Amino acid sequence: MTAAARAAECDVRVAIVDDNLSLGGQIWRRATDGSMPDSVRWTERLRAAKVTELCGLRVFHQPQVGILLAEGVDDIHELRYDKLIMATGARERFLPFPGWTLPNVMGAGGLQAMVKSGLPVHGKRVVVAGTGPLLLAVAAYLREHGAELLRICDQASRSSLARFGVALLRQPGKMVQGLRLKKALAGVPFATNSWPVAAQGEQVLESVTISREGTSETIACDYLACGFHLVPATELPSLLGCEIENGYVRVDDFQRTTLPEVFCAGEPTGIGGIELALVEGQIAGLAAGGRADEARSLFGERKKRRAFAQALDRAFQLRTELQRLASPETIVCRCEDVPYSRLSQCSSWRAAKLQTRCGMGPCQGRVCGPATQFLFNWNPDSVRPPIFPVRLESFAVTAGVSEPVYQEVTGGHG
Amino acid sequence: MSNLLTVTVNGVAVEVASQATVAVAVVLAGQACRTSVSGQARGPVCGMGICFECRVIIDGKPHCRSCQILCEPGMEVRTDG
Amino acid sequence: MSDATYDIAIVGAGIVGAACAHEFARRGLRVVVVDRDTVGSGATAAGMGHIVVMDDSEAQFALTRYSQHLWQELRRELPDDVEYDQCGTIWVASDEEEMTEVRRKHDHYRERGVATQALDAATLRNFEPNLRPGMAGGLLVPEDGVLYPPCAARFLLERAQQHGVQVRLGCSVAHLGQGRIALSDGLEIRAEFIVNAAGTGSPDLTSGLEIKKRKGHLVITDRYPGFLRHQLVELGYLKSAHSVSSDSVAFNAQPRRTGQVLIGSSRQYGAEHKEVDHAMLVWMLRRAQEYMPGLRAMSTVRSWTGFRAATPDKLPLIGPWSADKSLFLATGHEGLGITTSLGTARILVDQVTGAKPEIPIEPYLPSRVSREHAHV
């Protein structure tokens, strides 16, 4: 959103496109309650600059350089651009453990998104687990909405989190945020070195067993919000041919990818949180809009925020015990129900795909890919269209001139 | 101030706040969204449209990601479970 | 001869190489299989897995029919993940001209003992209600089937391993000949006989092989059980497979056991890169939509490409290579690799061991090609 607003303020025609029903992605999802003033400010700026908003559209292919195809509920859009800014964000990393497929076991961000989408959690007993700063934010949010927070468990060690806390304090505004969270979560048991070992239930989740420093404890609950930090959404950059380095999109100082007309900002270039994403977005928007000097003036702030990204990375490394949570019968690929035992016999991601169909389901490896990468050290395959499942008729469209031309397209989701 | 609207999930009426997603309606109805390939009940996980566990049949159309679709009055939602 | 490490070294762990390994092993020979990637990672991974009798020529018919029988014999032993399904093929006729072809094919197959049933428009609609109305009819070949090739290749190789066959995956071959295979890592394998079953990679290993890559596209949908019951092939497919130089598409749809619909097919010469060619894909999908309008709204989950190993006369090369007494070929199967893999293995192994093949082998001998060269 910041990229779109900034670019449009450079006097170029800008469109912003997102799969979600409204702008804001995950962090600013439905932020109409005043809790996120930045969201309001940037939305106003974007609208004042006359950015065209295209929500509910999934970009799935670029059949020709400069033309993206995006599918809506019952139509398809051709988006021609001179410059493209990708802000496809990140998604949670899910790791398998016995019982993780039970209904009401969700991601941490996943449960929060459901609550933002209308799921009532008042009086519901929730355990939050996994790793990453998202856990605390989600826990606080859920508590605000009436959930009974039974436990927050992070697999990170106490010392990692302490170091992270110190790094946080160095970031402007973070101390206030931190204190606010602390207040919001007063009285909620928080455990480090702690992770889920199994979820139990007949048809839905009924309890979760948490391990902590060698002992385990089973806690009856209604929801388990469990996510192991974030992985970047790099499907669109990969499809276009941008260079991906260590799983992240490689960009220069102006957030330009290895393709000259294509920019990338936010989590796909490195998981760094919202403030970093906001400044990277602005740099990309200004650079794409031709205002290099103004972009340059933000380099200092970006550098500061990048330090936070590095601290994040260090603090929330996954411990090896998590590789051994799955039992042989535990489903790892949820689309095709492939259990751990079958995958452990495969020598590579590709062999696993061919022999078991792991990764060949509709999620296109978005869930099982990061999981198997962590479990088996596999590297994912190359990306082919459609990068999101689409109706066959959408795929069968030749690119021709049928939609208005945008000078810049900013794409979210993926 | 939210209005309420009614959809049906597997033939049973469910009242939801307007602007609620179909996934919310299914969870409120106490149903699983889908049955997996090997017969397991599944519900929403990622909440953002990428895990495909929340797929349901809406007004006869299969494979709809319910977490990305707003409820509309009279919608008929079916899960295959 | 007596200091050779193996009796047979097979290059290629695709369906053909795996079938050959399986057949050699059954006859008690010491075999090693080498592949630069994983089992069934070439055309075997990409293709439709259709087991189909084809009557393009007597030779093609003989080999496909023979091999189809062998698959039927083997079916009871195939594990679940091979997903063998004798769903049958329906050759779909969209007009009267194609119905003439239906009748010709029907008689042709009947004379040769292949069960077939000519379907009029109404019967066709009964069998496949999701075909667009207005089709003229079709030909049902009930003994045709489908399977999932990567698991079939793995099964054959595992069976071979149970008989002592060695398998070396992730091993690139730098060159081969005269009873020796030199691997890229410097190691060497020696064998009395070498089998080049490397598909589109085979001309890189044996110079003079006239094998060209023929690119194909495929698309698979999400699960829609019951949408399709038989493998459907438009009769125009034959024109597509016939053409030796131009790009073509032909409607091909297969029900997978998962309930997904697998959609093909396309053929291109001269396309070297494996990226999806959007124009070809659109062409292929539009053709599919014409035949089955219900496909339009179906969720498409993946697309991919593959390369068929194509010979000039459209028949595979199965037999000795005259320039090298140690070398045999089992390659060039174009779109019939899965179907003819078992038959190929039988007649190849017969030739190596001096046993009498059960079908005439002349049409597939590599020497047919060199002979033509000699005449030129």
- Spell out the long-range contacts of C362-365 with Cβ–Cβ below 8 A and sequence spacing 24 or more: C363/C57, C363/C58, C363/C59, C363/C62, C363/C315, C364/C59, C364/C63, C364/C315, C364/C316, C364/C317, C364/C318, C364/C319, C365/C317, C365/C318, C365/C319, C365/C320
What angle (nearest 5°) sits at the alpha carbon of residue C145, between those of residues C143 and C148?
A: 160
Q: Could you report the per-residue pLDDT of A282-294, keeping only the tens digit for each?
A: 999 999 999 999 9
Closest chain A residue by Cα to residue B69? A21
CB B32 within 8 A of CB A105: no
CB A335 within 8 A of CB A361: yes
Q: Could you report the per-residue pLDDT of C169-206, keeping only the tens digit for each?
A: 999 999 999 999 999 999 999 999 999 999 999 999 99
DSSP state of C80: G
ipTM tops the 0.90 cut: yes
Residue-level pLDDT at A22: 83
Measured CA to CA, the distance from residue C269 to residue C229 in angstroms comes to: 31
Measured CA to CA, the distance from residue A220 to residue A30 in angstroms comes to: 31
Q: How many domains does chain B have?
A: 1
Beta strands in chain B (DSSP E): 4-9, 12-17, 34-35, 41-42, 55-58, 61-65, 76-78
Residue-level pLDDT at A402: 46
Range of the domain at B49: 4-78
Distance of CA C218 to the CA centre of its chain: 15
Measured CA to CA, the distance from residue A28 to residue A350 in angstroms comes to: 36
For A304, phi and psi rounded to 5 degrees? Answer: -60, -45
Measured CA to CA, the distance from residue A107 to residue A114 in angstroms comes to: 10
Measured CA to CA, the distance from residue A371 to residue A378 in angstroms comes to: 9
Residue-level pLDDT at C375: 45
- With CA atoms as reference, report the closest residue to B36 among A121, A391, C230, A357: A357
Q: Poorest-confidence range of A129-138, A179-188, A241-250, C100-109? A: A179-188
CA distances to A19, A322, B51, C246 from A367, in Å: 18, 16, 6, 41
Residues of chain B contacting residue A390, judged by C-beta atoms under 8 Å apart: none
Residues of chain C contacting residue A64, judged by C-beta atoms under 8 Å apart: 278
Strand (E) or helix (H) holding A393: helix A392-395
Confidence of residue B30 (pLDDT cuts 50, 70, 90): very high
Nearest to C303 among A355, A386, A397 (CB): A386
Measured CA to CA, the distance from residue C11 to residue C341 in angstroms comes to: 15
SS3 state at C129:
coil
* Residues in chain B, total: 81
Confidence of residue A21 (pLDDT cuts 50, 70, 90): confident
What is the number of alpha carbons within 13 Å of residue A266 lying toward its C-beta? 29
Measured CA to CA, the distance from residue B79 to residue B56 in angstroms comes to: 5
CA distances to A196, A331, C44, C214 from C199, in Å: 48, 35, 9, 11
Which residues, 6 or more positions from A220, have their beta carbon under 8 angstroms from its beta carbon? A125, A206, A207
Measured CA to CA, the distance from residue C60 to residue C337 in angstroms comes to: 12
**pLDDT above 90 coverage of chain A, percent:** 72
Nearest to A392 among C40, C150, C289 (CB): C289
8 Å CB contact of A114 and B16: no
Across the A/C interface, how many CB contacts are shorter than 8 Å?
90
Name which residue leads in pLDDT, C351 or A214: C351
Name which residue leads in pLDDT, C121 or A14: C121
Residues of A within an 8 Å Cβ radius of B: 19-21, 26, 30, 91-92, 94, 101-107, 109-114, 117-120, 203-204, 331, 334-337, 361-363, 366-367, 389, 413
Which residues, 6 or more positions from B11, have their beta carbon under 8 angstroms from its beta carbon? none
Residue C299 forms contact with B (CB below 8 Å)? yes
Q: How close does chain C come to B3, measured CA to CA in Å?
A: 33
8 Å CB contact of B45 and A26: no
| Residue B71, domain CATH | 3.10.20.440
B57 is written with which tokens? 């049949």
Q: Which residues partner with A390 through β-bridges?
A: C300
Q: How close does chain B come to A288, measured CA to CA in Å?
A: 28
Measured CA to CA, the distance from residue A129 to residue A318 in angstroms comes to: 13
Measured CA to CA, the distance from residue A22 to residue A45 in angstroms comes to: 16
C43 is written with which tokens? 């055309």
8 Å CB contact of B47 and A109: yes
CB C315 within 8 A of CB C372: no
Q: Could you report the per-residue pLDDT of C222-260, keeping only the tens digit for each?
A: 999 999 999 999 997 666 666 666 899 999 999 999 999
**Domains within chain A, CATH numbers bracketed:** 2-89+231-313 (3.50.50.60), 94-228 (3.50.50.60), 328-376 (no CATH)
DSSP letters for B18-40: TT-BHHHHHHHTT--SEE-TTS-
